């Protein structure tokens, strides 16, 4: 990291948002610059800092016994490191020309301006909430924040029945289905798409659908929620669709999130087609020398398609924070972009994807071949070997790997990492067939499932020639 | 695969060796060319074809209930595919100038010559057997072949005591230690090296040592076996070293293997410094247009050091076989080389390595930094998160990844694959810090252990600048 270009004495770095990206940035900047060189002020409108939102389903489901385990670093720990953290304080305005932000104390309503030399925007995402009747009724929950998780747990503790409806079948939806099953609920998932997990192609989503059905989850696909029915006490009673009603003692919304960029938009900062802030490789907001942004409020470069993409994930937020903190602290680091890796599970089913789906590839103007293979997690004769389906897309002519999707049991999910690195490096499927992956019977068949797929894909590329 | 240059009608391909490399080559060639175009004759001196030698420890240990599960393809299956397979037939001479091999029926002793147009040498490896007193006594076993495994199981069934000594602490040694523990034996491992697993640096081998001790295995390091003591019945009674005697009802040798290239050497074919056959990228024996070699009898190119290396592993043998079969069948394929990935386990300890150890890097003339980090397999708060140590080597100045070693529990071993692909692609540790690896709490901390190591290594490279 280049330490030249250090900020002058007495400069102030202001951070908006106290979760992964914001506080990683603050911490990294503090590591590079002591308090005498750089004052750091961080505003967070909630009660918590640096927590794992991705862990909420496991806390709700009971795998994680208490909330505080999800907090990587408390406000007190940040303050002890010399960060002036202001909780329950919401930034309401960014005055770019004046180099200042206006913040309001959430409890007292008092407002004041704070000037900055360098600014970090890490305002995160807001959950999609369709404006339907009953959407705000008691018993209807998002799972975006720790406060949301606590509210849902309170509802579960009080609920009289054991029927849960999850709206949405993306990764939050399926993880919450697992959590509710673990809590002893009968779970119905209502999903707008053709199959669950729209981050997969439908043929792979179909495997998830079948596995969820096998777990006793009722999957309702191709179905739009039209409203929620409430009872006399105002609490939710059912999820209503055009054709049916699904009784519910609790409803969990997992419909997805959008970048929280209303502040940035009002300040005239550049947003992309997905509504996220646009940055350069140093995570600097385009056209603004002293403003950085990262985490769930930015768009990222998809290295496979070359297009901008919205990919809100804690792992990216942490990386962004590191990069921002290095740069805002006077060093140098970059975030090259993503290849679109995601892994999740529902009970013992592991679901992973990286790179482009068929429709992504088409949208990017790429022609491709696609292959699907069945293999096993370990040597077929070794105890615990479980079946796994691997789908692979490769570009026609060049044979470049474009994407991989995996559905299987134990040992399936993290295999996608091999493809993630191959995508990063631009490997062809032909080159992948000779990858020197770890082999021993308890870990893999002699041809790893990813290699089996690569061989078949290389054959398909060849046939297209 | 290029189908031009097909062999003419009535040509004969002769394969020496009926295990992974040889029979993969035969099968792949058969896939490309029917029997009317290419006759395929394969000689195998043993009883079996295409079996998983890597699975023998798990069969001996009882995880795999029967021998036949280790056979991927039987002689009958090969014959049904039009391969003229001659079991219990040992090739005793290769007449390169005459284009023929001499083979002897092991049972009858009858010999005959068979001519070839194309030849595949897949003679495998032979176990190292120090010429020490008692080494051939009953109760002393190698575990190289299915016949070896059966003989060991017979000894275990008859053994009166429950004391086992394993000589050698490489991957076969530690896997056999696990197998014998599973069989209820008290296990002592006598090891010439400073620590077990000399494929790791000693600091990482130390972790394996400590874990094995924790499993109740007696590890004796830095110790040369000087002989075996036998009893009045001729059976082994103890393993003798300079300083001590270790009582043994059974002794398992896991000292390593050497390329079985005596035939090739006698025929004047080119061997490398490690005693293995030298080939080009198409696995063609150097200087010989119509002879290929693969599997445990060849040396391979180490892509990280640029040097030749001996790396006998079933996964390479299978790849070699595919490449040879494609080329010998008139197509085109190459084996680019290895990065030196290996993964193994002893009970619940997972051990993985790829790329160069410190001494390999020094030998290759590379200057490097090394870092070691502790992390966990899953998010720290998620049930089953287990500790993992990752060591990483990166080249000074360039920051290119040179090697990774991992010791941990469930979820540790296959993480090495990320490093294997990164080595293949020549990624720097700085670039690796931004790798888009799969993250969700049940699968990984938000910073995957490999990323944590990469960050630390990138910092160390920077500091050396």
Whether residues B178 and B263 share a domain: the answer is no
| Same domain membership, residue B95 and residue B57 | yes
Category of A113 on φ-ψ map: left (φ > 0), alpha (ψ -120 to 50) or beta: beta
Contact B55 A462 (CB under 8 A): no
B316/B224 same-domain check:
no
* Backbone dihedral angles phi then psi of residue B264, each to the nearest 5 degrees: -65, -40
Nearest CA in chain A to B348: A442
Number of other residues whose CB lies within 10 A of the CB of residue A80: 10
Confirm if A36 and A12 have CB atoms less than 8 A apart: no
| Interchain CB distance below 8 Å, B439 and A70 | no
Provide the pLDDT for residue A219. 97
Same domain, A289 and A219: no
Backbone phi, psi, residue B86, to 5°: -115, 100
- Provide the domain limits for residue B409: 342-464
Residue B43 lies in a domain: yes
Question: How remote is the C-alpha of B368 from its chain's centroid?
Answer: 27
Do residues A250 and A265 share a domain? no
A413 in a domain, yes or no? Answer: yes
Look at residue A250 and tell me whether its pLDDT is greater than 70: yes
Q: What is the pLDDT of residue A350?
A: 98
The one catalytic residue among B54, B135, B301, B379: B54
pLDDT given for residue B429 in this prediction: 98
Confidence bin at A130 (pLDDT 50/70/90): confident
How many C-beta atoms lie closer than 10 Å to residue A398's C-beta?
15
pLDDT reported for residue B6: 45
- Residue B465 confidence (pLDDT): 81
Residue B434 has pLDDT above 80, yes or no: yes
The answer as to whether A80 is a domain residue is: yes
Give the distance, in angstroms, between the CA of residue B202 and the centroid of all CA atoms in the same chain.
20
Which residue of B52, B413, B435 is in closest CB contact with A379?
B52
CA dist list (Å): A97 to A38, A93, A450? 21, 12, 52
Structural domain ending residue among the three candidates A225, A255, A285: A255
Strands (E), B231-322: 236-241, 245-247, 250-253, 257-259, 291-293, 300-301, 308-309
Q: How far is A69 from chain B (nearest CA, A)?
A: 6
Last residue of a domain, one of B298, B328, B358: B328
Smallest CA–CA distance from B459 into chain A, residue: A1
Please tell me the predicted confidence (pLDDT) of residue A9: 62
pLDDT for residue B7 is more than 90: no
* Mean pLDDT across B302-315: 96
Q: How far is A329 from chain B (nearest CA, A)?
A: 16
Q: Indicate whether B75 belongs to any domain.
A: yes
pLDDT at B8 over 60: no
Question: Does A238 reside within a domain?
Answer: yes
ipTM of the complex: 0.95
Average pLDDT value for residue range A382-401: 97
Residue A408: CATH number of its domain: 3.30.390.30
Q: Is residue B303 part of a domain?
A: yes
Q: What is the pLDDT of residue A465?
A: 81
Distance of residue A75 Cα from the nearest chain B Cα, in angstroms? 19
In the predicted model, what is the mean pLDDT of chain A? 95
What pLDDT band is residue B9 in, cutting at 50, 70 and 90?
A: low
Q: Where are the alpha helices (DSSP H) in B336-440?
A: 358-363, 416-425, 429-432
Q: Go through A178-196 and write b for each residue having 16 or more CB atoms within 10 A of its CB, e for each that does not.
A: bbbbebebbbbbbbbeebb
Q: Are residues B216 and B157 in the same domain?
A: yes
A361 domain-assigned: yes
Instruction: Kindly list the residues from chain A whose CB atom is less than 8 angstroms away from the CB atom of residue B344.
Output: 440
- Regarding whether B122 and B263 lie in a shared domain, the answer is yes
Q: Which residue in B63, B313, B435 is closest to A439 by CB distance? A: B313
Chain A partners within 8 Å of B316 (Cβ): 436
pLDDT-based confidence at A4, cuts 50/70/90? very low
Q: Are residues B249 and B133 in the same domain?
A: yes
Residue B1: its pLDDT value, please? 39
Q: Does residue A341 belong to any structural domain of this protein?
A: no
CATH number at residue B134: 3.50.50.60
**Mean pLDDT for the stretch of residues B109-121:** 98
The pLDDT value recorded for residue B2 is: 38
Judge whether A189 and A174 are in contact, CB under 8 Å.
yes
Measured between alpha carbons, how far is A369 from B215 in angstroms, rounded to an integer?
49
Question: Are residues B424 and A444, on separate chains, in Cβ contact within 8 Å?
Answer: no
Task: Write out the two tokens for A50.
Answer: 């640096």
Question: What Rg, from alpha-carbon coordinates, does chain B have?
Answer: 23
Q: Do B176 and B285 fall within a single domain?
A: no
Percentage helix, strand, coil for chain A under 3-state DSSP, each rounded to 5: 30, 30, 45
**Do A418 and B421 make contact, defined as CB atoms within 8 angstroms?**
yes
The structure tokens listed for B357 are 């150890």
Is-contact B16 B120, C-beta < 8 A?
yes
Q: Name the residue among A158, A142, A147, A117 with its Cα closest to residue A15.
A: A117
Final residue belonging to a domain, choices B238, B255, B272? B255
- Over residues A28-57, the mean pLDDT reads 95
**Domains identified in chain A, total number:** 3
Q: Are B183 and B215 members of one domain?
A: yes
B438–A342 CB contact, under 8 Å:
yes
DSSP annotation of A257 reads E
Determine, for residues B436 and A420 on separate chains, whether the beta-carbon distance falls below 8 Å.
Answer: yes
Query: Both B148 and B244 in a single domain?
Result: yes
* Structural tokens at position A261: 């960029």
Q: How far is CA B443 from the centre of its chain?
A: 28
Q: Given this model, what pLDDT does residue B337 score? A: 98
In this structure, the answer to whether residues A215 and A195 fall within a common structural domain is: yes
């Amino acid at each position: 990291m280049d330490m030249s270009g250090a900020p002058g004495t007495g400069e102030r770095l202001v951070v908006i948002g106290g979760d992964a990206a914001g506080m990683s940035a603050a911490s990294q900047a503090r590591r590079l610059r002591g308090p005498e060189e750089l004052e750091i002020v961080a505003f967070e409108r909630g009660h918590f800092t640096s927590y794992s939102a991705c862990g909420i389903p496991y806390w709700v489901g009971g795998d994680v016994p208490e909330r505080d385990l999800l907090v990587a670093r408390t406000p007190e720990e940040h303050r002890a490191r010399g960060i002036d953290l202001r909780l329950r304080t919401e930034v309401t305005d960014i005055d770019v020309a004046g180099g200042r932000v206006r913040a309001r104390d959430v409890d007292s309503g008092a407002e004041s301006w704070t000037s900055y030399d360098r600014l970090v925007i890490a305002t995160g995402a807001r959950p999609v909430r369709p404006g339907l009747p009953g959407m705000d009724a008691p018993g209807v929950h998002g799972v975006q924040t720790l406060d949301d998780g606590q509210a849902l747990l309170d509802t579960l503790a009080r609920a009289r029945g054991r029927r849960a409806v999850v709206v949405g079948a993306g990764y939050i939806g399926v993880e919450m289905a697992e959590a509710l099953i673990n809590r002893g609920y009968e779970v119905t998932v209502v999903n707008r798409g053709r199959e669950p997990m729209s981050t997969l192609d439908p043929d792979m989503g179909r495997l998830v659908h079948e596995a969820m059905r096998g777990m006793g989850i009722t999957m309702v696909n191709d179905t739009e929620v039209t409203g929620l029915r409430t009872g006399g006490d105002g609490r939710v009673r059912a999820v209503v669709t055009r054709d049916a009603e699904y009784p519910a003692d609790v409803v969990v919304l997992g419909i997805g999130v959008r970048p929280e960029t209303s502040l940035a938009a009002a300040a005239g900062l550049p947003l992309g087609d997905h509504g996220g802030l646009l940055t350069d490789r140093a995570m600097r907001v385009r056209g603004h020398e002293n403003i950085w942004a990262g985490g769930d409020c930015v768009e990222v470069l998809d290295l496979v398609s070359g297009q901008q993409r919205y990919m809100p994930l804690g792992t990216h937020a942490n990386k962004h924070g590191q990069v921002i903190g290095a740069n805002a602290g006077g060093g140098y680091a970059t975030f090259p972009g993503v290849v679109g890796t995601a892994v999740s599970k529902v009970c013992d089913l592991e679901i992973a994807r990286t790179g482009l789906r068929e429709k992504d590839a088409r949208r990017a103007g790429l022609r491709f071949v696609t292959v699907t293979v069945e293999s096993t997690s370990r040597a077929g004769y070794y105890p615990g070997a479980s079946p796994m389906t691997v789908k692979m897309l490769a570009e026609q002519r060049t044979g470049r790997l474009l994407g991989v999707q995996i559905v299987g049991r134990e040992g399936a999910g993290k295999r996608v990492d091999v493809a993630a690195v191959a995508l990063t490096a631009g490997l062809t499927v032909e080159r992948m067939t000779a990858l020197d992956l770890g082999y021993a019977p308890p870990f893999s068949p002699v041809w790893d499932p990813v290699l089996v797929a690569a061989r078949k894909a290389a054959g398909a590329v060849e046939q297209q020639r």
